[in-house]
Structure 1
Amino acid sequence: MASVVGNQGLRRPLDLAFLTAGVAAVYVGAGRLGLLRQLVVENAVVTPIWPPTGVALACLLLFGLRAWPGIVLGALLVVMSITSVQPDVIGTLVGNTAAPVCAYYLLCRVGFRTDLARLRDGVALVFLGALASMLISATAGAGCLVFTGKLAAHSFWLVWSAWWVGDAMGVLIVTPVLLLLPRAHWPPHRPRWTEAVGLTVVACALLPFVTRSSDSLLFLVYPLVIWAALRFQLAGSMLCALAASVLATVAATEETGPFARLSRIEIMIKLQAFNGAMALTALLLSAVITEQLNTRRSVQQACQELVEVLEHLAAGESPQLRAARDAQDRRDQSHSG
């Protein structure tokens, strides 16, 4: 008995260590991807989309508060890869950890479900998980830059808004995709393969075109997102939104296509408006469609059960009597076996 207790005691710290290392590794990988595309706003470098915030919140929702040491470690490693640890960096680390933890607490308080099958879950993720909670990281990051003299006071709000939108976009685009992974089924259902291939082909042709065209054609992305949401719900719409956001961010940082001949501030505003509107459309529309489909399935199931009850009553046999007889038959079969 003592050895069993000892093994259980060792297993928990070992599991926590593996979880911390795994979360930190994914956080660092997402951070490296986010740093590939940057915008300079008032001499401060910001990222239009900061995927680590989405990774951090998804890990907290999937694994609970046990994931927060991995978030801290991952944020520290990302910072150390680009600069040394300084007072403003410590404030940024605190903000990048506190923001997803706050989002986790707020979502838990409202009964958030990770399947995002209800409209209220999509609304909660948008307003509590992204827009409200990411105020903490943006305020901590931009405030520390001003406090240490690396950013002029009059530039605070512009850098703060860019920081806030970048973190919020990480939650809106990355978190839903990661929450879908544990529920993904492979291979997918065969009847949808043809349409899925068609949607993929259209997306591969349309998205590079609209994000590289000198004409303002970004609005053509919305019919694609709507198609994906109608037919494939959250999985289809968020993957389309993620691909479109990545390609639009690449075009914006290279100042090509619809972002050519614009100032840095105009590029940031146009890119963030497009990414935000597209992510909101994909998330909320798919949540509404999924909720309606679930309601229709529940109604169909209730109707089927009602039909069975009516058939039993018409046959002169009550449901309770039929259930008791079925249970007795099962007991007789088990005894005879």
Structure 2
Amino acid sequence: MSVAGALLLFTSWGSLWLSGPKNFSVLWPANGLLLGLLLISSHRRWRALFLLHFFAGVLVHLYFHFSLYQSVVLSAGNIVEVLVALLPFRSMPPRRTNLTRLRSLVQFTLACFLAPAISGMFVVGLSGHFLPNLTLVTLYRAWYMGDALGLFLITPLVLMIGSDESIEVFGWKRLPQTLLLLALIPIPNLLLTSPQRIPLLFLDYPLLVFVAFRLGMGGAAISVILMAIPVAHYAFNSIGVFGMPAFADAHTRILLLQAYLFIQLIMVYLISSVLASQKRLQKDLEKSEHRYRGLVDNSWDIIIQSNADRKRQYVSPAVREIMGWTQEEILTSSFSDHIHGADLARMEEMMRKLREGDDKLTLQFRMLHKNGGYRWMEIKARAVRDIKTGELKEIVSVMRDVSDRVAREKEMKDAVARAEALAMTDELTGLGNRRGFDEMLDAAWRQSAAQQTPLSVLMIDADNFKLFNDEHGHLAGDACLRMLAGLISNCIRKPADYAARYGGEEFSVILPNTDAPVAQTIAERIRFTIASSSVRSASLDGASITVSIGITTRIANASQSPRDFIRAADAALYDAKRAGRNCIRQRA
């Protein structure tokens, strides 16, 4: 805080010293210094800074022989001025005011022009009588121009202290270059001491533009200060070009000098703002590119960018880890070189749909690994189109290895298929079970109704099986049932016909698209094959196991159901039993 007070005291004294007693300075830097200190300080220090500024102003004006009343009024006017200039930034946290942003620069410029206007009316209204040799208009103009210029010039310089820009420009690496450049700035103005010489003020502009490019807004503000110091001295003392007859009036010289400096500042601030905006944009782009490049390069997925002709333009490094190929090998190879032949048509179809209007598609395919094997990959492709024309510009694809997932899905499907097969299979005989028979009969019935083709069903029962089971035991009975199932299965037409164990020692056969004569032939084949087998029973006087078969044949229609069909086949079976067994009977 003591340093801030010393700076405020020194800048106030320096301005009055350069202007000379009872004259007005070209610029009043103390208010700009205070505004800058307020913008970089916490709000709790603002009161102390205002008090320091007020008392510093009173002391300096007293030193230069102003009356106490005059000193108090002028210092109070300075406080009013800074308060008004601070209004647009009062809610900003410390060091968050960035004048290189165009919005903040516009607010700051308006504040610099408005605040002195208000404080000037305050000062002129209270103290216009203490300089009787000046009109109120001249007094107001002198106050306004000097204070506005001081705010406009010094505040950006204070805000630069400790900023990234100042660290870059005045760091050890660039410090010699920066000092050399700033040392060259005053040279054109030092050549203005002779009125016979051609005025060189026009040389300031290209130099300031160059400084704005090299040193930014803060460096440009320093350059304007360096230019202003000798020129202000020349203007007040009628030296050099300012000693020419056209500029005989002191107030005219000061006004022209101030306007000249304002033009310089506005020019370099706008240039600095544009350059800073471009630098921020460039840094944002670099950060964005670095961020997304990091995401892409470190992704576990393979990311591919292709043009509209499907020529690969970028492949992420993950392709080597996942597929063994280098990025160059993928980029220089053909589209179809790494895709399994069986999947190529589906890949071509996906690319065609993307070209014709689809935005994003997903596909699973097999891709050749460098070791010679194929890996299952899942690709999610997105079409990037021109916003105006809708024309395809590129295709961005993300691929991941799903071989393990495909293998697990296949295992699951196989397990489900096995479970379904077990649910539809008789455990003892390996034929279909009752559930499988019912589902197959429903399907065959719908097919017969749709195609108007005959459907036949055989109901088969082992004759006297209870006696065989009682004599030889259940294990032998089970073996007998397995043998009967095998013989029946060998006699039917696979895969069209379907044999099932209907229950106990009873079997059934579904014969789709089979009329009664063909069904009779198949039934007789079954009956004869079983009767000719080697399975015999002592309880049957050594005779072979035989079967009785009932047949029914119909064309399905809406007035009937599969249950009616089964009842007819059962009735035919009972007819065969009553006829003495080991025979075949039919019912319509």
Of the candidates 156, 165, 176, which is equivalent to residue 176 of structure 1? 156
Is residue 51–residue 171 contact of structure 1 (8 Å, CA) maintained in 2? yes
Aligned partners of 1:99 and 1:304: how far apart in 2?
Answer: 46
Is 1:279 the counterpart of 2:260? The answer is: no
Pairs within 5 Å for 1:34-183: 34-38=15-19, 45-63=23-41, 64=43, 65-66=46-47, 67-83=49-65, 85-108=67-90, 113-128=96-111, 130-146=112-128, 148=129, 150-151=131-132, 155-183=135-163
Is residue 211–residue 247 contact of structure 1 (8 Å, CA) maintained in 2? no
C-alpha deviation, 1:238, in angstroms: 1.3
Is residue 31–residue 78 contact of structure 1 (8 Å, CA) maintained in 2? yes
Of the candidates 261, 266, 276, which is equivalent to residue 252 of structure 2? 266
Corresponding position of 1:295: 281
C-alpha deviation, 1:268, in angstroms: 1.8
- Greater Cα shift, 86-95 or 103-112: 103-112
Is residue 170–residue 178 contact of structure 2 (8 Å, CA) maintained in 1? no
Corresponding position of 2:9: 28
Unaligned runs of 5+ in 1: 1-18, 318-337
User: Higher relative contact order at CA 8 Å, sep ≥6: structure 1 or structure 2?
Assistant: 1
Corresponding position of 2:198: 215
Pair 230,282 (structure 1): closer, same or farther in 2 beyond 3 Å: same
Is residue 39–residue 48 contact of structure 1 (8 Å, CA) maintained in 2? no
C-alpha deviation, 1:97, in angstroms: 0.8
Amino acid at match of 1:245: A
Pair 149,187 (structure 1): closer, same or farther in 2 beyond 3 Å: closer
Pairs within 5 Å for 1:224-239: 224-239=207-222
Pair 223,73 (structure 1): closer, same or farther in 2 beyond 3 Å: same
C-alpha deviation, 1:188, in angstroms: 4.0
Structure 1 residues 16-72: Cα deviation after superposition (integer angstroms, max 9, x where no partner): xxx2x44332111001110122279xxx62111111111121122122423211112
SS in 2 for 1:234: helix
Is residue 192–residue 200 contact of structure 2 (8 Å, CA) maintained in 1? yes
Aligned partners of 1:226 and 1:71: how far apart in 2?
Answer: 34
Is residue 12–residue 28 contact of structure 2 (8 Å, CA) maintained in 1? yes
C-alpha deviation, 1:222, in angstroms: 0.7
Structure 1 residues 96-134: Cα deviation after superposition (integer angstroms, max 9, x where no partner): 111112211223358894343312222222221x11111
Aligned partners of 1:186 and 1:309: how far apart in 2?
Answer: 30
Aligned partners of 1:84 and 1:201: how far apart in 2?
Answer: 36
Aligned partners of 1:106 and 1:207: how far apart in 2?
Answer: 36
Larger radius of gyration: 2
Structure 1 residues 239-283: Cα deviation after superposition (integer angstroms, max 9, x where no partner): 111101112111101211221131223212211111111122222
Is residue 27–residue 74 contact of structure 1 (8 Å, CA) maintained in 2? yes
C-alpha deviation, 1:301, in angstroms: 0.9
C-alpha deviation, 1:145, in angstroms: 2.6
Is residue 186–residue 226 contact of structure 2 (8 Å, CA) maintained in 1? no
Please report the TM-score for the alignment, with normalisation by the length of structure 2.
0.46
Between Structure 1 and Structure 2, which shows a larger proportion of strand residues? 2
Pair 39,136 (structure 1): closer, same or farther in 2 beyond 3 Å: farther
Pair 76,193 (structure 1): closer, same or farther in 2 beyond 3 Å: closer
C-alpha deviation, 1:190, in angstroms: 6.0
Is residue 30–residue 51 contact of structure 1 (8 Å, CA) maintained in 2? yes
Pair 191,30 (structure 1): closer, same or farther in 2 beyond 3 Å: closer
Corresponding position of 1:250: 233
Pair 122,113 (structure 1): closer, same or farther in 2 beyond 3 Å: farther
Aligned partners of 1:187 and 1:285: how far apart in 2?
Answer: 17
